[in-house]
Structure 1
């Protein structure tokens, strides 16, 4: 099989009429995700009092959710409706790139959030001098360019491979599954994939854990009032981190270490958690826990009626 032909998503075969039910549920869920996340972005953008680093980073998470789900849901919904579930080699690489940069962006944005909270809690009097608009912009740019570079180079390595197989037992283009269809040795891709995982997953995650452990130690030495305020701003971030970490760990474990050892249906559900659950949960958590965002969202909903 030459690059430039097609891959086939085998898990869509023989769905029968139930595919229309899946399509309806998927379409409604996608609309809700887009609606919630756009509301958060608009709330932060339109309300001047929310033009602060913490809220700007929350809007970055919502923008990333829109980006990631756009790389998955339109393709999924199309495959549910059509009988031929195929995708070109180039489009497959693009979808894989979007999904995995989305996952990496999620962690790097959470890393910047953790750093922001660490500075706010450890150096409250110098916070505005440290987290300036220029420095925040630099952090956000690095948070996007850092994964983009490493994941992008991995996509280029995959694009060079000659493919002999064309059957994907996934509902989206999974980079490692594509690489395994190669006719030639893909050891270099496997090694680079592990390096990218360390660079884009474990390093940001380690820094996030370090930041929150340090915050916890600072809070233990502080007054009850200080601890209460610190926990109020940190707990939503920790909920988001825990939610995404569990979902992404399921995907990482399934793709690398658990091949064919669990039922296909369960494998599909677990592998989709990191794309489906965080974009839905994130705006709800921030909308409920930050009064400024909640108030502006209520106003936007009233105006739209």
Structure 2
């Protein structure tokens, strides 16, 4: 296997031989993926059907739910299909497609939360200008920019992988991770390290800084307002703060696993840690917003009563 023309597929070697347990794993993973899709779709439908929710905050939430479905679909179908495979082979185009979807949905998650934080900042700190600044047209443009920026960020960071020559095809993971794919290339240049740093800065550091700045300003304003306004701010901002905190924890788990503790933790933990965000975040979003925001709860109740 001396060059890329001889490598037609990657082997996902982390599945191992789990015997009859694969049926139990398949059922658990399948229902978890199904629950993610149903929960996020219900929230999207509720926002779409109820005209009272056609506001910037809920339109941005709808976009976030779309991204959760995209993020989950980039992982779980391949994961399920490999459960009953003996070779665990994935052809290069499918592997690259999975990597593309995963590393577009990542920046989209952070930038979507940054857009939502900006929306809350305008709503709380500049309430009289809110309808002018955050009208429907501008929100749609903002969502479009989120996806364009996420796609461009991925292309600028990882498109070089598509042209690499590979001298191996064994990926020690259950999905196509870019770091492990780069390690299989015949020659690793400094470009790979620079691209990862660029991706982290553009897709995580900058939006996280914008989110932090927005909430610092919100906190300063809330200190000077009435108790009622403080309670309203807490109600609308808490889900986003929890989402951002969960993303931060997930990024730490990913970094620790691949940079520090690879040889010091069990294989199961080493495999699950990088997938923490793909497992928890898509489910956290609909349930945090669905059960915490009063308008969403009311709309869900009304839809259920109408069906009855």
SS of the residue aligned with 2:19?
coil
Q: Would you say 1:292 and 2:276 are equivalent positions?
A: no
What is the aligned counterpart of 1:265 among 265, 268, 281?
Answer: 268
* Counterpart in the other structure of 1:152: 155
* Counterpart in the other structure of 1:91: 94
Once superposed, what is the RMSD of the aligned Cα atoms? 1.5
What is the aligned counterpart of 2:132 among 129, 135, 145?
Answer: 129
The 1-side partners of 2:129 and 2:168 are apart by 58
Structure 1 spans left out of the alignment, 5+ residues: none
Tell me the TM-score normalized by structure 2: 0.95
5 Å-filtered alignment, 1:138-149, equals 138-149=141-152
The 2-side partners of 1:6 and 1:137 are apart by 39
* Count of aligned pairs: 305
Task: Summarize the Cα distance change of 1:9–1:261 in structure 2 as closer, same or farther, 3 Å threshold.
Answer: same
Tell me the TM-score normalized by structure 1: 0.95
Q: CA deviation at 1:248?
A: 2.6
SS of the residue aligned with 2:10?
strand
Instruction: Tell whether the 8 Å contact from 1:103 to 1:274 is kept in structure 2 after alignment.
Output: no
The 2-side partners of 1:301 and 1:152 are apart by 43
| CA deviation map 1:126-160 (0-9, x unaligned) | 10011112211121111111121021233320011
Q: CA deviation at 1:297?
A: 2.5
| CA deviation map 1:7-62 (0-9, x unaligned) | 10111121111111100100011111111000000000011000001111111111
Q: CA deviation at 1:299?
A: 4.1
The 2-side partners of 1:157 and 1:257 are apart by 26
5 Å-filtered alignment, 1:235-250, equals 235-250=238-253
Q: Would you say 1:40 and 2:43 are equivalent positions?
A: yes
Q: Would you say 1:23 and 2:26 are equivalent positions?
A: yes
SS of the residue aligned with 2:11?
strand
Q: CA deviation at 1:90?
A: 1.7
The 1-side partners of 2:120 and 2:144 are apart by 18
SS of the residue aligned with 1:276?
helix
Which stretch shifts more, 79-88 or 110-119? 79-88
* Counterpart in the other structure of 1:186: 189
Q: Would you say 1:75 and 2:75 are equivalent positions?
A: no
What is the aligned counterpart of 1:231 among 230, 234, 248?
Answer: 234
* Counterpart in the other structure of 1:275: 278
Q: CA deviation at 1:304?
A: 6.3
What is the aligned counterpart of 1:176 among 174, 179, 186?
Answer: 179
The 2-side partners of 1:300 and 1:229 are apart by 25
Task: Summarize the Cα distance change of 1:191–1:258 in structure 2 as closer, same or farther, 3 Å threshold.
Answer: farther
The 2-side partners of 1:65 and 1:302 are apart by 27
What is the aligned counterpart of 2:203 among 179, 190, 200?
Answer: 200
The 2-side partners of 1:120 and 1:149 are apart by 30
SS of the residue aligned with 2:262?
coil
| CA deviation map 1:212-237 (0-9, x unaligned) | 01111111122212211111111111
Structure 2 spans left out of the alignment, 5+ residues: none
Task: Summarize the Cα distance change of 1:157–1:304 in structure 2 as closer, same or farther, 3 Å threshold.
Answer: farther
The 1-side partners of 2:76 and 2:240 are apart by 26
